[in-house]
Structure 1
Amino acid sequence: MSELVTPLRKLGFLTIGLFDGDDPRPGHESTLEIVELGERLGFDSAWLRHRHLQYGISSPTAVLAALTQRTSRIELGTAVIPLGWENPLRLAEDLATVDVLSGGRLNPGVSTGPPMHFDRVRSALYPDTAEQEDLGYGRAERFIDFVRGAPASEFRGTEGIEVFSDRVQPHSPGLADRLWYGGGSLRSAAWAGRQGLNLLVSSVVKAERSEDFEQIQLGLIEEFRAHHPAGQHARVSQGLVVIPTDSATPAQRAKYAAYAADRLPRTTTPHGPARLVYSPDLVGDSAQLAERLSAHAGFRAVDEVAFALPFHFDHDDYVQILTDMATKLGPALGWRPAR
């Protein structure tokens, strides 16, 4: 095995929380159960994807609020909330409330830019203000400022029997230190660093200086830390699709191999005007995966990860994958489960 630069310190996982549109409760319940399992297995963090007008979690803050009452230790994150769909002030209120309910375990990840398929939804989302909305870094900076406690009103004090604050309430002081940015470009990585945020690097990046995924991901990490006040100590979490098969049935192994093979062609060349590059999915037993990860340029630059669960698998598949990840793969990477 390639020698690890540092042992893996934090192990997390990411789920999209798929559900049946005609019967959405079982899918949401499955997500809650999966995160509860993650806590029992000793995972450090569980992260929710965010999907609008699809059959995945559209309101991670609501699901995370439920999880604060069903877990007690595991950190809870979003990867990521697209701010183009959100009012920064209202989102800051919601996330601060969830953080208080969780006892300070929330790790909100956000991103900027126009919502996906903005032309199809702009009349519903911003019928009167679409042309005036700042969907870039300015929107993120407003959100960050509100979380940090910047004034949101010109008045505070008592009016009749009502008491008003000039900043978001509840205010959760530690939340600002647990804000993450999902960046796939060098510009985003540098901006996140200058803001003093934490960085989420995923399995989709932009080809700028290279077309090699590992080198692109490493470049993002280096760019972020070069602009962050904490330098090399700035927190970065790597995201890849990693599927251990140690305890998988033959049918599951065949399913996982077919899934990865079906998605492999998209990894061979940059896509679209943004020149997006996708990482291959990693499938194999934990010894094989540890070998591959130990040689991965992006992985070698971090000490925490949030491995993504595949979109369309069954509940039992996720149970097997998470169990192998916590009991086989994590320890092979130098990680130890939280107690």
Structure 2
Amino acid sequence: MKSIGFLSFGHWTPSPQSGTRSAADVLLQSIDLAVAAEELGADGAYFRVHHFARQLASPFPLLAAVGARTQRIEIGTGVIDMRYENPLYMAEDAGAADLISGGRLQLGISRGSPEQVVDGWRHFGYAPQPGESDADMGRRHAEVFLQVIKGEGFAEPSPRPMFPNPPGLLRIEPYSDGLRERIWWGSASNSTAVWAARMGMNLQSSTLKADETGEPFHVQQARQIRAYRDAWKEAGHTRTPRVSVSRSIFPIRDDRDRAYFGRGKDSDQIGVIDNMRAVFGRSYADEPDRLAEELRRDEAIGEADTVLLTVPNQLGVAYNTHVIEGIVKDVAPLAGWR
């Protein structure tokens, strides 16, 4: 069994060829797609976060809205760039969104991805401490966030409060029980996956990875997942962690699919991202039976319990619902996921 969700990058452009021509289009259509995905039997609605770009940026209003409009589907991010975040304010937002959804928040966080502007986090008021890199700063923010969402008191109450306080040190409110176990770290390397395991976070492995061995993407990603699980066991955590991989998967079921994605076989790509040699995973597009056979040979999918389907949101809600339906109803049973 695999949990199946979609991952939207939330692009918009004023182009007449785009189904999402404004930020309002993307936000409202994201809610509609989550509702449609839940009705189809999908398990998750996840959203990328990018600052200074025509993409989804502030996730918590969207997550709260999706949580209010749905009943069962998990809601999450993939990922929030912790270099930009005030961990305590984020803890309040996350607690509220989780309570609105009834405990369905699956929050993906990370050091972040390449930026649209130079040192964008400085514009948000953050800077690394002496001797610290921006990646170190992101991990430090993450550690503070993880600590305060545990619900333990840490702040000294005022002797003259506006409202009566409970006894003892005060915690961040609203507190949502269980949220700490539903935090994921987006990792592009084996070392950060091991760090995430030691910190007790679930693992999100994306459509790219540091090219550490020269092997195919899915093989390297499977090795990363196994290293993560070994580190989790060594850390002595008692619960079973979750692991997700993201894939671009398009069942070819009609002429419309063929026009968009029937261009032939795709393959891994090598590139440089943030001065790191990276391997980018291929897209999968074929008729459902052949697609299922290809997916069964993907070692990382075999290792993961959750598959996030990247969706071309600019093609609109109806088409993306069609794509998700093809995977949930046609491909997943053939691939052994359902």
Query: How far has the Cα of 1:91 moved from its partner?
Result: 0.7
Letter in structure 1 aligned against 2:247: L
Letter in structure 2 aligned against 1:282: Y
Partner residue in 2 for 1:216: 220
Verify the 8 A CA contact 2:186 2:204 in the aligned structure 1: yes
**C-alpha spacing 1:290/1:19, structure 2 compared with 1 (3 Å):** same
**C-alpha spacing 1:112/1:121, structure 2 compared with 1 (3 Å):** closer
Matches within 5 A, 1:1-339: 8-20=1-13, 23-112=22-111, 116-117=115-116, 119=118, 121-126=120-125, 129-132=126-129, 135-155=137-157, 159-163=161-165, 166-228=170-232, 229=236, 233-246=240-253, 248=254, 250-258=255-263, 267-272=268-273, 273-310=275-312, 312-336=314-338
Partner residue in 1 for 2:18: none
Letter in structure 1 aligned against 2:11: L
**C-alpha spacing 1:162/1:114, structure 2 compared with 1 (3 Å):** farther
**C-alpha spacing 1:142/1:163, structure 2 compared with 1 (3 Å):** same
SS of residue paired to 2:141:
helix
SS of residue paired to 2:326:
helix
Letter in structure 2 aligned against 1:235: R
Query: How far has the Cα of 1:294 moved from its partner?
Result: 0.6
Verify the 8 A CA contact 2:83 2:121 in the aligned structure 1: no
Query: How far has the Cα of 1:270 moved from its partner?
Result: 4.2
How many residues are aligned here? 321
Verify the 8 A CA contact 1:225 1:231 in the aligned structure 2: no
SS of residue paired to 1:227:
helix
Verify the 8 A CA contact 1:112 1:139 in the aligned structure 2: no
SS of residue paired to 2:222:
helix
Deviation per residue, 1:211-242 (Å, 9 max, x gap): 42012101110111011135994311111111
SS of residue paired to 1:220:
helix
Identity over aligned pairs, percent: 29
Deviation per residue, 1:245-300 (Å, 9 max, x gap): 22x3x233121235x87xx57x3334253111100111112211210111111111
Once residues 36 and 314 of structure 1 are traced to their aligned partners in structure 2, the CA distance between those partners, rounded to angstroms, is: 14
Moved more, 298-307 or 98-107: 298-307
Letter in structure 2 aligned against 1:241: S
Deviation per residue, 1:118-151 (Å, 9 max, x gap): 525355222xx52437523222111111111244
Once residues 159 and 292 of structure 2 are traced to their aligned partners in structure 1, the CA distance between those partners, rounded to angstroms, is: 57
**C-alpha spacing 1:44/1:150, structure 2 compared with 1 (3 Å):** same
Once residues 269 and 160 of structure 1 are traced to their aligned partners in structure 2, the CA distance between those partners, rounded to angstroms, is: 58
Query: How far has the Cα of 1:113 moved from its partner?
Result: 5.2
**C-alpha spacing 1:163/1:335, structure 2 compared with 1 (3 Å):** same
Once residues 123 and 182 of structure 2 are traced to their aligned partners in structure 1, the CA distance between those partners, rounded to angstroms, is: 32
Moved more, 222-231 or 69-78: 222-231
SS of residue paired to 1:55:
coil
Verify the 8 A CA contact 1:46 1:74 in the aligned structure 2: yes
Letter in structure 2 aligned against 1:256: F
**Is there any run of 5+ residues in structure 2 with no aligned partner, and where?**
15-20
Q: Which TM-score applies when normalising by structure 2?
A: 0.86
Query: How far has the Cα of 1:159 moved from its partner?
Result: 2.0
**C-alpha spacing 1:254/1:157, structure 2 compared with 1 (3 Å):** farther
Note the aligned Cα RMSD (angstroms).
2.5
**Is there any run of 5+ residues in structure 1 with no aligned partner, and where?**
1-7
Once residues 135 and 59 of structure 1 are traced to their aligned partners in structure 2, the CA distance between those partners, rounded to angstroms, is: 20
